């Protein structure tokens, strides 16, 4: 055993302890301020955004999906968008368009902009952004935790592996994976 480890005794807190902590946290002003902020965040990013995005009625979008700049987000017919997906359309003009029968796993991100870093005399946070639209064609499956970056087109029938970072176009029926995503094979092989 490494000499930097030290053996300690740990007593698991009782249920009574956690109930007391819960009670005392609920009766504070900080709890109510946090609750109001959480409700506002959910209303803006999950409820209002669904009203502004163009989502076909036959598509299923999980309630935890976050959509920023939703007026530039289009989701086609018979799509299934899983929980915790993030759609970040461009800051000024770039859109995110999903075709028909697109399937996403959990925690997929679509980011249609990138921060500028051109001027070293200005902090990156204060520089402008680059917008570039994302297009996902019909019958595409995007795996868990994948990230689709600005300016990417994913061709019809393609599969994006879990955890992939897609920064270049994906040809039709290609299976891509890795960081950055590379073609692993084609579905018809």
Residues catalogued as catalytic: 115
pLDDT score at 1 = 60
Exposure b/e, 145-178, CB count within 10 A at least 16 = b: bbbbbbbbbbbebbbbbeebbbeeebebbbbbbe
pLDDT tens, residue order, the chain (189 aa): 667 888 888 888 888 898 888 887 777 778 888 889 989 888 887 788 888 999 999 999 998 899 999 999 999 999 999 999 999 998 889 999 999 999 999 999 999 999 888 899 999 989 988 999 999 999 999 999 999 999 999 999 999 999 999 999 999 999 999 999 999 999 987
CA dist., res. 72 & res. 128, Å (int)? 19
Edge-to-edge, what's the strand order for the sheet holding 60-61? Answer: 60-61, 80-81, 103-104, 141-142, 159-160, 174-177, 182-186
135 CB burial (10 A radius; 0-12, 13-18, 19+)? middle
Could you report how far apart the first and last alpha carbons of the chain are, in Å? 50
Q: Are 150 and 94 a contacting pair, CB within 8 Å? A: yes
Q: Which residues contact 179 (CB under 8 A, 6 or more apart)?
A: 163, 164, 165
CA dihedral 147, 152, 153, 158 (to 10 degrees): -30
Question: Residue 87's beta-bridge partner residues?
Answer: 67, 110
pLDDT score at 27 = 78
Q: Which residue matches tokens 């092989």?
A: 189
Q: Which two tokens stand for residue 39?
A: 């409700």
């Amino acid at each position: 055993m490494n000499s930097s480890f030290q053996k300690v005794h740990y007593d698991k807190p009782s249920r009574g302890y956690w109930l007391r902590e819960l009670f005392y946290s609920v009766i504070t002003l900080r709890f109510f301020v946090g609750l109001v902020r959480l409700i506002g965040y959910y209303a803006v990013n999950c409820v209002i955004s669904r009203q502004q995005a163009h989502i076909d009625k036959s598509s299923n979008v999980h309630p935890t999906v976050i959509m920023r700049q939703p007026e530039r987000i289009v989701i086609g017919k018979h799509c299934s968008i899983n929980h915790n997906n993030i759609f970040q359309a461009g800051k000024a003009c770039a859109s995110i368009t999903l075709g028909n029968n697109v399937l996403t796993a959990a925690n997929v991100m679509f980011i249609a902009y990138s921060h500028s870093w051109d001027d070293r005399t200005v902090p990156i946070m204060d520089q402008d952004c680059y917008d570039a639209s994302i297009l996902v064609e019909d019958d595409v499956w995007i795996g868990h935790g994948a990230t689709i970056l600005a300016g990417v087109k994913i061709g019809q029938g393609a599969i994006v592996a879990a955890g992939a970072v897609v920064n270049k176009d994906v040809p039709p029926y290609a299976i891509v994976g890795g960081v950055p995503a590379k073609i692993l094979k084609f579905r018809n092989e």
